[in-house]
Amino acid sequence: MFFKNANNLLEKELLKEIDLDKIPKHIAIIMDGNGRWAKKRNLPRSFGHKAGVETIREIVKVCSNIGVKYLTLYAFSTENWKRPADEVNALMNLLVEYLKGELEELHKNNVIINYIGDISMLPDICQRELINSNIKTKKNTGLMLNLALNYGGRNEIVRAIKNIAKEVYNKNIEIDKIDENLISNYLYTSNIPDPDLLIRTSGELRISNFLLWQIAYTELWFTDVYWPDFKPYHLYKAIKDYQSRDRRFGNVK
């Protein structure tokens, strides 16, 4: 097992209740509440993001250990550019720090680092670190850590439609061949199965433009806990809940 074992009693107890043969293959997380976590402590918002990175470190390790195959984290949305420049800069710096600091260990532990979204808008250093991390790890076979950066679900769908329209115009695709499968193949997530479980922290009950196409049949799980306070214990709770659900995909039993 990579990294560390469950380290507190509650966590260990809850882990025992999880069926390790039915771990969700793909977990997506809207990591919300960093700003409020910082505000509660009279700290600048960027401290909340810094604390949020610690949670990312821990949750990535746990997901890898219990056999999650894909973990998609909403790290920066197409709407997040509206934030003050110093907060955007702090987030970009944290991304670079995280990749530089974790790459070797993640690689050693078979993790693939991947990204979705239009990264061409990110600072060069971020693009470089992301591309390097991806190149170095893409042949790994363990957990895929999929970072959503300058990502928006609607933007992703618009991009797919434009690309499909070009192919139709160039007579490479017949209109009758356009189906759900084809559209999925034109999304950033073309090589990734749809999420089984979507977690949102901080008490907000919305999707915020995340993976709009992909979550058609995803199980949703919300918690009031702010992202920096989200612990493996909460992840196990979400997975236990997920395992108790009856996924019918529109069918009957």
- Name the E strands within 51-120: 70-77, 112-116
Is residue 8 flagged as an active site residue? no
Residue 32 lies near ligand FPP (rule: CB under 6 A): yes
Is residue 176 flagged as an active site residue? no
Residue with smaller CB distance to ligand FPP, 14 or 114: 114
Give yes or no for a contact between 191 and 144, defined as CB atoms under 8 angstroms apart.
no
Give yes or no for a contact between 28 and 238, defined as CB atoms under 8 angstroms apart.
no
Backbone angles phi, psi at 30, to 5 degrees: -95, 105
Give yes or no for a contact between 133 and 56, defined as CB atoms under 8 angstroms apart.
no
> Interaction with ligand FPP in 191-230: which residues (CB under 6 A)?
202
> Interaction with ligand FPP in 62-81: which residues (CB under 6 A)?
73, 75, 80
Residue in 11, 26, 27, 35 binding ligand FPP, rule: CB under 6 A:
35
Residue 116 lies near ligand FPP (rule: CB under 6 A): no
Q: Which stretch binds ligand FPP (CB under 6 A): 9-17, 48-56, 131-139, 174-182?
A: 48-56
Residue with smaller CB distance to ligand FPP, 32 or 196: 32
Residue with smaller CB distance to ligand FPP, 53 or 238: 53
Residue with smaller CB distance to ligand FPP, 55 or 218: 55
Angle at 203 between CA 200 and CA 207, to 5 degrees: 45
Q: How far is the C-alpha of 33 from the C-alpha of 135, rounded, in Å?
A: 32
C-alpha distance from residue 53 to each of 90, 91, 100, 129, 160 (Å): 12, 10, 13, 16, 31
Q: Which residues pair with 103 in a beta bridge?
A: none
CB of 99 to ligand FPP, least distance (A): 8
Active site positions, annotated: 32, 80
Which residues contact ligand FPP by CB under 6 A?
Answer: 31-36, 49, 52-53, 56, 73, 75, 80, 91, 94-95, 98, 147, 202
